[in-house]
Amino acid sequence: MDELDSALVRMLQEDGRRTNRDMAQELGIAPSTCLERIRSLRRSGVLTGFHAEADLAAIGRGLQAVIAVRVRPPTRAVIEAFQTFLEGMPEVISIFVLTGNDDFLVHVAVRDTDHLHAVVLEKLAKRPELADVRTSVVYGHMRKKVIGPA
């Protein structure tokens, strides 16, 4: 990636709805050059997709929590099966597979504390491979919109 590619990635992370013409004009390049660079970034896997962000509270999921989970036995099959289970849960926003004391950190967004309680007790705790679970309510969440190359 060169400076032009980095600039395009940054611009699209800031606003994925920017037009090709607008970005080309800001960067001082031809629209055809801009379009080809973006296509190349998609083909190479640098740009993996475009999405809209929703306000979680506005869609009825204003309470977030991070759930630390340990499974037993810690085998590849058990971890992969549990991850597949988590991916199917509508409350789950993201899943981190870890080393160390915990096997997973699961970020969830739910309606309220009753809904969170039900997720932990009625979904997670019923899993036979679950060895330990700890839940932390999230007071605030910040996510960088623009992440540059290393």
- pTM (two decimals): 0.86
pLDDT in tens, the chain (150 residues): 899 999 999 999 999 999 999 999 999 999 999 999 999 999 999 999 988 889 999 999 999 999 999 999 999 999 999 999 999 999 999 999 999 999 999 999 999 999 999 999 999 999 999 999 999 999 999 989 899 888
DSSP classification of residue 67: E
For residues 15 and 68, state if they share a domain: no
Q: CB of 76 within 8 A of CB of 46?
A: no
Measuring CA to CA, how many Å separate 121 from each of 73, 101, 117, 139, 149? 20, 21, 6, 22, 41
The CATH number covering residue 97 comes to 3.30.70.920
Q: What is the pLDDT of residue 38?
A: 97
65 occurs within a structural domain: yes
48 occurs within a structural domain: no
For residues 38 and 64, state if they share a domain: no
Q: What is the pLDDT of residue 52?
A: 87
For residues 80 and 21, state if they share a domain: no
The CATH number covering residue 19 comes to 1.10.10.10
Q: What is the pLDDT of residue 150?
A: 82
For residues 39 and 108, state if they share a domain: no
For residues 133 and 71, state if they share a domain: yes
- In what helix (H) or strand (E) does residue 71 lie, and over which residues does it extend? strand 63-71
Q: What is the pLDDT of residue 134?
A: 98
78 occurs within a structural domain: yes
Helix axes 3-14, 20-27, angle to 10 degrees: 130
Closest CA to 18 of 35, 40, 36: 35
Q: What is the pLDDT of residue 51?
A: 87
For residues 127 and 78, state if they share a domain: yes
- Separation CA 55–CA 91 (nearest Å): 14
- Which residues lie below 8 Å from residue 121, measured CB to CB, with a gap of 6+? none
Q: What would the two tokens of residue 41 be?
A: 């970034």
Range of the domain at 7: 3-43
